[in-house]
Chain A
Amino acid sequence: KAGVTQTPRYLIKTRGQQVTLSCSPISGHRSVSWYQQTPGQGLQFLFEYFSETQRNKGNFPGRFSGRQFSNSRSEMNVSTLELGDSALYLCASSSGQDYGYTFGSGTRLTVV
C-alpha cells in the first residue's frame, strides 16, 4: 500500500514568487492536512481538507491557501513568498481520527 506522496521533495524559490505543493494521500483516505515545520516555530497546523471542503484552518496569513480534489489529492499554494516561508511542509492523510495520521516525507521549500 503506497504511503503519502508529496511532490516535489525540494524547491528553491525567490522572494515574491508563488509556489504550489502537491500531496497524494493513501488510497481511501479522505482527510488531508498540512503542517509547516521550522526550527523556530516547530510544527504548526496550516489547514485540513475533507471531501474537498476545508474543515479547519490554522493561524497563517491569506497567502497560504489550499484545495482538495475529488480524488482526495491536495495542493497548497503560497503566494508572494517571503524568506520566513522557508520550511519543511508536511502533509498527512487519515481514514478517520481513530486510525491516526500518516505523514509524507515533506517538501523542503527554500526562499532566497
Chain B
Amino acid sequence: AQSVTQPDIHITVSEGASLELRCNYSYGATPYLFWYVQSPGQGLQLLLKYFSGDTLVQGIKGFEAEFKRSQSSFNLRKPSVHWSDAAEYFCAVGTYNTDKLIFGTGTRLQVFP
C-alpha cells in the first residue's frame, strides 16, 4: 500500500536560513509526488509536483524538491526562508490513473525573525 512519511512534525528556523523538509514515500511504481502548503484555516496550495523527467523540480515561492528514487524521498528545500513561509507543509503521493492522494502527516514550519 502507498504511504508517505514526514518525519519532522515541527521545524523552527530563523528568517533567512535555509530549509529542508523531509518526505519519504512507499509506492511500487514511479509515483506522482506533490508538496502542498496550508495556512491556518485555509485549503491546500500546490507548491510543486513531480511526475517524470528531471528529478529536481522547481515550484512557486522559491521552493524546489528533489526526487531520489534510491532513497524513496522527495525532500522540499528553500535557500532562504521568509517569515511568510510559516505554515504547514504536506507531502503527498498520487497513484497512477486515479485522482487519489495519500498525504503525510505534515510538518509545521515556524519562522523566527
Contacts and interface: CB of A to CB of B under 8 A. Distances in A.
B39 to A, nearest CB: 10
B105 A100 contact: no
A22 interface: no
A6 B42 CA distance: 12
A92 B42 CA distance: 13
Nearest to A108: B41
Contacts of B94: 97
A95 to B, nearest CB: 10
A102 B36 CA distance: 10
Nearest to A105: B43
Interface in B85-113: 90, 92, 94, 96-106
Contacts, number: 63
B67 interface: no
A56 B96 CA distance: 13
A4 B44 CA distance: 11
B27 interface: no
Contact of A31 (B34, B90, B99, B106): B99
B34 A100 contact: yes
A90 interface: yes
B99 A94 contact: yes
Most buried by A among B36, B94, B99: B99
9 nearest interchain CB pairs? A43-B103, A103-B43, A103-B44, A105-B43, A31-B99, A48-B99, A100-B49, A56-B100, A42-B105
Contact of B43 (A33, A42, A50, A90): A90
Interface string A101-112: 111111010000
A55 interface: yes
B32 interface: yes
B83 interface: no
A101 B46 contact: yes
A45 B102 contact: yes
Contacts of B51: 97-98
